[in-house]
Amino acid sequence: MNKNLSRAERVELLGQIDTIIGWSVEAVGIIKNLFIDHAALYKSFGRFDSNFLGLVRADGALDLYHGGLRATDGQGGAIFDHADYQNYYEYIHEEVKPWSYMKFPFIVEKGTGAGWYRVGPLARVAQCDFIPTERADAEHIAFKAFDGGAALSAPLGYHWARMIEMLHAAEGIKELLLDNDLSGGDLIVRGERQLRGVGVLEAPRGTLIHHYRVNEDDQIVSANLIVSTTSNNQAMNEAVRQVALQYLDGRSLTEGLLNHIEVAIRAFDPCLSCATHALGKMPLEAELVDADGSVIDRLSRDTV
């Protein structure tokens, strides 16, 4: 934060926030009704079970900035809970594979084969015990109850959960605008200087881990980042696998198949397009290979 809000600015924003909350309620309703009206499609498209990881408050509430790490399995069972994120490396390791520049994080207790997990809106809404704003919590309950929890395993459930979080954010903004501290002048938090620092928060895409070490001259000597898209790496691969199982006939590749793959990947809101500077594009290249390794078909889009 580099400035506070004046009282006039707070009054202006308060005059608009109820409209924003209303729009957010409508947005949640749109995606909820799509799930209800097209339940068979939405709950089955690219569906798979996985572990989840995210921050929760001490009382189990959704929290984006504080709290401990919670990990659950595909059936909602606890793997670890309220773990100190300063020691994240005791709970999460990263695997390297020769065919990808991205790492493959996994939960140590589950191992490389079964320990991969999902982060982001779906994981946060699925794992938290409640959301600490009234309207969003009511929608959170409806989301988890939908068709016996079917949305919790569906990649397209990310969109529903994302809208619930938007509603929570709007409600939270209203609460903050009523807090006089927003007009205070203390914008810097001072603390004891340390040579090691770990920061974890819930970014829009999911859990974001930054770990730095500095020397006595304040030069960074080591850094490790586990960003949301890295954590979702294996989950995105699994989504593509499930789409292929559902929509690939085994004989040829189609534009429709590429569209389905793109829908599955985009549900995770990956930052791959930002990293490759593909503005407004989703470069895709698919190959169909037989059991002998021969390429039967190849189809690409926006790869140049």
Q: What average pLDDT values come out for the chain (304 residues) when binned by 10 residues?
A: 85 96 98 94 92 97 96 94 96 92 94 96 97 98 94 94 98 94 80 92 95 95 94 95 92 92 92 53 83 91 68
DSSP, res 179: -
pLDDT (0 to 100) of residue 277: 43
Question: What's the pTM value of the predicted model, to 2 decimals?
Answer: 0.91
pLDDT at 190: 81
Residue 74 contacts by C-beta under 8 Å, 6 or more apart in sequence? 49, 50, 51, 153
Element (H, E) at 202: strand 196-203
Cα–Cα distance, 288 to 283 (Å, whole number): 17
What's CA 92's distance to the chain center, in Å? 17
Q: How many Å apart are CA 154 and CA 26, to the nearest integer?
A: 22
Q: How many residues does the chain have?
A: 304
- By C-alpha distance, which of 150, 152, 157, 130 is closest to 141? 130
Give counts: helices (H), strands (E), the chain. 10, 11
pLDDT at 216: 93
Q: Which helix (H) or strand (E) holds 83?
A: strand 78-83
